[in-house]
Amino acid sequence: MAYFSKVLHICMKDLKVEVRSKERIYSMMVFSLLVMVIFNFAFDPGAEYIREVAPGILWVALIFSATLGLNKTFAAEIDQDCLQGLMLSPMDRTGIYFGKVISNILFSLIISLLTLPFFAVFFNIPLLDVLPQLVLVISLTIIGFISVGTLFSAISVSVKGGDMMLPLLLFPIEVPVIIAAVKATGMILDGAPMMDYSMWLKVLTLFDVIFVMIAFVTFEYLIEE
Amino acid sequence: MRKMITNLIGLAAASLIIVALYMAFLYAPTEVTMGHVQRIFYFHVAFAWTSFIAFFVTFAASIAYLVTRKKFWDTVAASSVELGIAFSCIILTTGPIWARPVWGAYWTWDPRLVTTLILLFIYTAYHILRGAITEETKRARYSAVIGIIGFLDVPIVYFSVNWWSRTIHPDVIKPEGAALAPQMLQSLYVALCAVTLFYLYVLLRRIRLEELRDEVSELRKKVLKES
């Protein structure tokens, strides 16, 4: 129990920093909108095929903005040697990881929920009826993306040119998650019953479970000094 | 002793490669529908097999490094990745050469093709990461974590791409036996052995190179201290 309260502390600290500075949420949101606007130029907005490419556009926007946020996860801790302080705090190192994962998931979820109405309006796609299913897929995807992403951002932050390293490392690993997310979203938008895309939900859940466990085991190797 | 073993393996690899080339081009019969282009298959499969071994060696060596913290394992992992990348490039070049006349296209988004490509991306990132870190133990720790995660990701990538698209890649070696003429099968096995030995030989040489580099940097430090 004490472990969870410590994890919560780390998470609350990140949230508090964000509430005061607002730098992450702000830039993530603008970026995600920008991506959708740019896709509007790439694909003819009135075209019929837009419903087929829409899930892809949504996920490019969400994944890219999440990556933007991940880059900042540990960057703030490098300043003034905050990471050193965190490591000296009397808690299991994995607590730092889980605290950061939870705060990152919250940030990305907020961005996703804020992006959805714009997505619906920009591409003229009715979302209200399928919102619960969509939120389920988004949550599962974000957990999978952030769990590995937070781990890798601990690597990229202490590497020269790390901002560039993070997507290079992260995107190939996340291929199953991205495929599953795009496929499931497409089926949901088409109004398919859950039976049809339950396989993709399983892929997402499997990925989440496996990589949260791997991250739990490997994180302490990344921040020992 | 190790030098002698390395040289012996090199000699065996060189001679087996000549035999394998002979078998692939002259001994094995010409495939009825595909013609001569099918002969690329023997080396294509051999390199595919060996690149997978190479990445597995990296995975195992990465775990060994995190457990023992011996620099040797980091060297093995890094050396094996380089070979795996080179072999993956060979697969992704020989495959399209064959696919163009047979499938009518250089590239399709088939599970095996995509998985190989993703594998290449993962380990290229691993290789770039190593180049970006100068501190030795940090580099070893970070790359070990990537080496483990990258390898565990492969089956998930394969299965998700498999569900995403249908395969048209031929399944030549099946559990119930290979659907090949005996001469073709023999050629394949010889090519497999040849390339595996070649991998082993280059791996050993690459590890030795890394050790020599370390020796040089030690010597340099010593000289600088004395002067």
Task: List residues bridging with B31 in a β-sheet.
Answer: B35
Any chain B CB within 8 A of the CB of A176? yes
3-state secondary structure B18-76: HHHHHHHHHHCCCECCCEHHHHHHHHHHHHHHHHHHHHHHHHHHHHHHHHHCCHHHHHH
pLDDT band at A212 (very low <50, low <70, confident <90, very high): very high
Check B150 against A175: CB less than 8 A apart: no
Residue with the larger pLDDT of the pair B168 and B189: B189
Q: Which two tokens stand for residue B90?
A: 């060979």
Return the amino acid letter for B30: T
Is ipTM over 0.90? no
pLDDT band at B176 (very low <50, low <70, confident <90, very high): low
Q: Residue A136: how many CB atoms within 10 A of its CB?
A: 15
pLDDT band at B172 (very low <50, low <70, confident <90, very high): low
Question: Is the confidence at residue B34, as pLDDT, over 60?
Answer: yes
| A157: closest CA of chain B, how far (Å) | 11
| B214: closest CA of chain A, how far (Å) | 22
Question: Is the confidence at residue A171, as pLDDT, over 90?
Answer: yes
For the question of whether the overall pTM of this predicted structure is more than 0.80, the answer is: yes
pLDDT at A81: 79
| A80: closest CA of chain B, how far (Å) | 21
pLDDT at B38: 84
pLDDT at A191: 84
pLDDT at A88: 83
3-state secondary structure A55-103: HHHHHHHHHHHHHHHHHHHCHHHHHHHHHHHHHHCCCCHHHHHHHHHHH
pLDDT band at A74 (very low <50, low <70, confident <90, very high): confident
**Pick from B129, B138, B164: CB nearest A183:** B164
| A22: closest CA of chain B, how far (Å) | 31
The rounded percent of chain B whose pLDDT value lies above 70 is 95
B96, B219 Cβ separation under 8 angstroms: no
Domain ranges of chain B: 2-226
Any chain B CB within 8 A of the CB of A90? no
B210, B65 Cβ separation under 8 angstroms: no
Question: Is the confidence at residue B174, as pLDDT, over 70?
Answer: no
B85 backbone dihedrals φ, ψ, rounded to 5°: -65, -45
Average the pLDDT over each of B67-71, B72-76, B166-170 and give the range with the smallest value: B166-170
Q: Is B188 helix (H, G, I), strand (E, B) or coil?
A: helix
Task: Using CB atoms within 10 Å of the CB of residue B195, give its burial: 0 to 12 exposed, 13 to 18 middle, 19+ buried.
Answer: buried
Average the pLDDT over each of A39-48, A118-127, B61-70, B131-140 and give the range with the smallest value: A39-48
Was domain B2-226 assigned CATH 1.10.10? Answer: no
What is the mean predicted confidence (pLDDT) over A59-72? 93
The rounded percent of chain B whose pLDDT value lies above 90 is 53
pLDDT at B175: 55
Question: Is the confidence at residue B166, as pLDDT, over 70?
Answer: no
pLDDT band at A104 (very low <50, low <70, confident <90, very high): very high
pLDDT at B129: 93
What is the mean predicted confidence (pLDDT) over A52-62? 92
DSSP A126: -
What is the mean predicted confidence (pLDDT) over B170-190? 75
Question: Is the confidence at residue A48, as pLDDT, over 80?
Answer: no
- Enumerate residues 50 to 79 of chain A having a beta carbon within 8 A of any beta carbon in chain B: none
pLDDT digits 0-9 by tens, A113-156: 999 999 999 888 888 888 999 999 999 999 999 999 999 998 98
Check A176 against B144: CB less than 8 A apart: no
**Pick from A151, A214, A224: CB nearest B152:** A214
DSSP A45: T
Question: Is the confidence at residue B87, as pLDDT, over 60?
Answer: yes
